[in-house]
Amino acid sequence: MIFKNLSKNLILNLLIIMFIFTVDRITKIYIIYLNDKTYGAELFLSKFLNISLVWNQGIAFGLFSFDQSHLYNLLTLVITVIICVIFVMMVQSHGLKKYSLAMITGGALGNLYDRIAHKAVPDFIDFHISNFHWFIFNIADIFITIGVIFMILFELLVNNREHEKT
C-alpha cells in the first residue's frame, strides 16, 4: 500500500518535472531558432518586455561566469549534485513542499541540460521599466523561482503553526 502511494506520487512529480523540462526546451529551441533566423537582432521589443537571446555561462543571473573550462565543469558537477539532493528531498516530502521541489527540479534540469549541451544557458526574457532592466531569465528560471517562493511560504506557514502549538 505504501509503495502504491509512493509510486502514484512519484509518477505525478515526474510528470511535473517532465512537463517543465519540455516547456523549457521548446521555448529555448524556438528562441535560438528565431535568433539564428534574425542574425541576433532583438526578437521582440516593447515598453516593459524585450525578448533577446543572451548566453549565460554562470549560475543564476550570470553569477560565477568563468572563462576557464575546468571551473565551469566543476560548477556543473556541483549543480548536478544539488539537483540529485533536491530530487531525494522531493521523494521524501509531501504536499506543497513536494510540488515545490518538483518545480525546482524541473527547472534546474532544463538549465543543466543547456549547461551540458551548449556550455551556457540561453536566457531571453528581459523585463524593464525605462532604463532599469531586471536580470534576463528563461522559463526554467521562472519555475525555479516559483518553487523557491512556495518553499519559503511553506516553511513560514509550518513554522508559524508549530510556534502557535507551543
pTM score of the predicted model: 0.84
Q: What is the pLDDT of residues 72-109, one digit of tens each?
A: 788 889 999 999 999 999 999 988 899 999 999 999 99
Cβ atoms 136, 126 nearer than 8 A: yes
Q: Is the pLDDT of residue 116 over 90?
A: yes
Catalytic site includes residue 114: no
- The catalytic residue among 24, 114, 126, 141 is 141
Q: pLDDT category, 134, cuts 50, 70, 90?
A: confident
Catalytic site includes residue 141: yes
Sign of CA dihedral 109, 114, 120, 122: negative
- The catalytic residue among 24, 114, 123, 126 is 123
Looking at residue 127, its amino acid is F
